[in-house]
Amino acid sequence: MNLSALNSRNIRLYLAGNLFSLNAMWMLRIVVGWLAWDLTGSASFVGLIAFAYFLPTMFLGPLFGVLSNRSDVRRAAIMVQSLFLTAALGLWLVQHLEILGASHLLIYSLATGTIMSVHGPVRMSIAPRLVASNDIPSAVNFASIAYNVSRMTGPAIGGWAIAQFGAGQATLVTALCYSPFLVALSLLRVRQAAPKPSKPGFLGDLA
């Protein structure tokens, strides 16, 4: 494995902070699925919640992919993580107030799915801009490993947190896990994308 990207302070900060954020994202998937079943006892509703997560990405992901290439990607990443944190705290609040209903879970899932449609393009755009050009393959490898490992560890930690502390406390702890990545992002120095010799326009980039 090419370890050259780890020589960069930028990528080390990014990976350390992103470890918390990615696990939080997958932990909340488990918490929300658990809440959906606990509230309704309906497998169909649990499936609807999962569908609501992915529906926005199907339609909005390509649009945000174009926008992420035209934006300050560090600011976009900070915005995405702030929205994840706000949505998770909102979910915790309705649980804390004991007013959580099926509609809250559906709204949360659609909102989080919309944020995820921004998160994907931003996540894939930022890592290559944290290192020198010759270290980009190494940076992309590490970012991919972190994402795929979190798909296994996040649900496991989420299930353990529900069993140990209950869904409400698990939601709060998970929400706070977005904070370390926000700190890391504020410290990063991101290389701007090289300007294109000619701009094909938004629809051209989308195509």
Phi, psi of 118 (to 5 degrees): -85, -40
User: Which residue in 62, 31, 67, 66 sits closest to 49, CA to CA?
Assistant: 31
User: Which residue in 130, 118, 23 sits closest to 79, CA to CA?
Assistant: 118
Q: Taking a C-beta distance cutoff of 8 angstroms, is the pair 180, 172 a contact? A: no
Is the model more confident about 102 or about 133? 102
Residues contacting residue 59 through CB under 8 Å, at least 6 positions apart: 117
- 166, two tokens: 């209950």
**What's domain 25-38+45-188's architecture?**
Up-down Bundle (1.20)
pLDDT of residue 194: 60
Cα 185 to its chain centre, rounded Å, is: 13
Q: In this predicted model, what pLDDT tens digit does every residue of 72-107 receive, in sequence order?
A: 888 999 999 999 999 999 999 999 999 999 999 999
Mean pLDDT (whole number) for 39-48: 94
Q: In this predicted model, what pLDDT tens digit does every residue of 112-132 receive, in sequence order?
A: 999 998 988 888 888 888 888
Report residue 70's pLDDT band, with 50, 70 and 90 as the boundaries: confident
pLDDT of residue 196: 61
Strand, helix or coil for residue 189: coil
